[in-house]
Amino acid sequence: MVAKLFPTQEFGAQNSEDHKEALMLKETDTTDNMNGVILEEDNEETEQESARKCHGCRTFCHNLCMPCRTKYHPLPENPNCWDRFKFTFMCPPHGVIARYFQFLFLCGITFGVLLALFKDYALPGGNFFSLYVLFFGSVLGGYLISFIKLPPLLGMLLVGALLRNVPVIDVVGNHLDPNWSGALRQIALTVILIRAGLGLDPVALRKLSFTVVRLACSPCLVECIAEAIASHFLLGLPWEWAFMLGFVLSAVSPAVVVPSLLNLSDRGYGINKGIPTLVIAAASIDDVLAITGFGVVLGMAFSTGDIAVSIIKGPAEALLGVAYGVIGGIVLWYIPAKGDNFIFYRGMTLLGAGLLATFGSAAIELSGAGPLGVLTIAFVAAFRWRKEKKDNDQDPIKDIVAILWMLFQPILFGLIGAEVQISKIDGQTVGLGMATLSIGMVVRLVVSFLAVFKSGLNFKEMLFIPFAWFPKATVQAAIGGVALDAARRKGDATLEAYGEIILTMAVLSIIITAPIGAIAIAITGPRLLKRTVKDKEYDEEDVQNTDEQAEITKV
């Protein structure tokens, strides 16, 4: 019995100990759960306290910002000047203030990137700092000059001239690296030529009347000859450089002419005779002719050796440029292959092929082939690309090139202005240059009037054409410094002097003719052209006439 009971007591004691351990574990779990509940309650109280503080902070900020937010203070229906003034400074930024803020923000980011990459070169006195100030200063100058209804490019040009000639700030222009300046101008010229090539429609060219051909070629060639003769005898330029100057000055400016004519066309002036279309179509051909002639004469001026070889070299360079453009344009029909972002790759490939023509021709001393090669490759490539898009679709390649031009336009005109050193300009040279320019402009005005003679235009409309054919800017800025850059590469002081004369004349032509031409078109257009009322203005009359005819028909 005892032996039997002993293990049972042992087993009971063991169960008792296990029961105690279980109770202890249960109490521990209960304590932990209680602590967890307490911690959760503390966390909830902390979160609620934080939420109350955040809500109070948000409420304070909301009440503080409410008086200056557009959401709670919209512009009244009939606002007065004070209402408009207050609304301008409301948040978030909008309108003019938003554009200013965006411009300043972009300036700061760009400077920070340059400072991080180039260190000392991005500080005052460095080349990148000078380019930075020139670019954003030119953008600002173009924006400000547009307030007085003048072409923005004039403001960009003036900013560049100020940064080179005004004391204290002239360090900006004086620290520009000539190699960088020349390369950037060449890139801008390439972008201009690509735009011109893309804008030449072969179908429209086949349909051009003899009047457009006369207007495109006659004033350009006759003015070139007149200014070449005048500059040879007045400025003492050799014949090659004289004709180079003639082609530089003889080109009309699409940057001034096209917006001015489109403005008149939108208002209905001259559209009954197609005058805006006539002038805009002829302007592109005029520029192509001037740039091509300049490239040929440039190759002749810098060629060495026999005169006969020099004469043959010019046309040979032109043929080489055309051949490069045709072959390159056909290649761009198939490269890059269609796929993701192929429009972007197509635009960059076209730009790369154009830059290769520009810089490659200069590297092998056949610089006359470059401009014509760029123009031809864009024209040939666009011939096939137009067939791929639908009738009403926009051309994406033109949009890409337009963005590139938006970036390089301030650089181009700013750098051209910064090349002019007023202290080194001879007053006699300026006077003789003004005389040369005046002779060419008088001849151009007369020939422009005669070019549209017997073309179906009345006397007032014929009189308007010379005013529309007056302004110069874009081509002069693009090729005005090319000869000077080529002379600097040669290292010949005499040739550099000739190049400086051409550059000075190009700047003078822009400063004088661009604002006068823009103002002349704006003033003479409404007075000399017939205004055609557009269909929208006839809508109400058409409805009334239709109702009257319906009533008569019923009767």
Distance of CA 148 to the CA centre of its chain: 20
Domain span(s) for CATH 1.20.1530.20 in the chain: 184-528
Position of tokens 């307030």? 147
Fold type of domain 184-528: Na+/H+ antiporter like fold (1.20.1530)
Measure the CA–CA gap between 138 and 414, rounded to whole angstroms.
6
What are the pLDDT tens digits along the chain (555 aa)? Answer: 444 444 444 444 455 555 555 555 555 555 555 555 555 556 666 767 777 777 778 777 767 777 777 777 777 777 777 777 777 777 777 666 777 777 778 888 888 888 888 877 778 878 888 888 888 888 888 888 888 877 787 888 888 888 888 887 877 777 888 888 888 888 888 888 888 778 766 765 565 567 878 888 899 999 999 999 999 999 989 998 999 999 999 988 877 787 777 778 778 888 887 787 778 778 767 877 888 788 888 877 877 555 566 667 667 777 888 899 999 999 998 888 777 778 888 889 999 999 999 888 878 877 767 877 888 898 889 888 888 776 666 778 888 888 888 888 888 888 888 877 777 777 788 889 899 999 999 999 999 999 888 777 888 888 999 988 888 877 888 788 888 888 888 888 888 889 889 988 988 888 888 888 888 888 888 888 888 765 544 444 444 444 444 443 343
Q: Are 529 and 278 in contact (CB under 8 A)?
A: no
What is the H or E stretch that residue 402 is in? helix 396-418
Q: Identity (one letter) of the amino acid at 555?
A: V
Q: Which of 138, 167, 53, 170 is nearest to 415 (CA)?
A: 138
Distance between terminal CA atoms of the chain?
136
Position of tokens 């360079």? 317
Burial class (CB in 10 A: 0-12, 13-18, 19+), 300: buried
Task: Report how far apart, in Å, the C-alpha atoms of 231 and of each of 284, 293, 435, 454 are.
Answer: 26, 17, 9, 33
CB within 8 Å of 295: residues ≥ 6 apart: 317, 318, 321, 367, 368, 369, 370, 371, 372
Q: Which of 390, 368, 275, 268 is nearest to 316 (CA)?
A: 368
Name all contacts of 182-186 with Cβ < 8 Å and 24+ positions apart. Answer: 182/481, 182/485, 182/488, 183/359, 184/131, 184/408, 184/411, 184/412, 184/415, 185/412, 185/415, 185/416, 185/478, 185/481, 185/482, 185/485, 186/358, 186/359, 186/362, 186/482, 186/485
Measure the CA–CA gap between 471 and 333, rounded to whole angstroms.
36
Measure the CA–CA gap between 209 and 205, rounded to whole angstroms.
9
Distance of CA 241 to the CA centre of its chain: 30
Q: Are 461 and 529 in contact (CB under 8 A)?
A: yes
- What's the 3-state SS for 504-537? HHHHHHHHHHHHHHHHHHHHHHHHHCCECCCHHH
Measure the CA–CA gap between 68 and 77, rounded to whole angstroms.
18
Give me the numbers of helices (H) and strands (E) for the chain, helices first please. 22, 0
Measure the CA–CA gap between 357 and 322, rounded to whole angstroms.
11
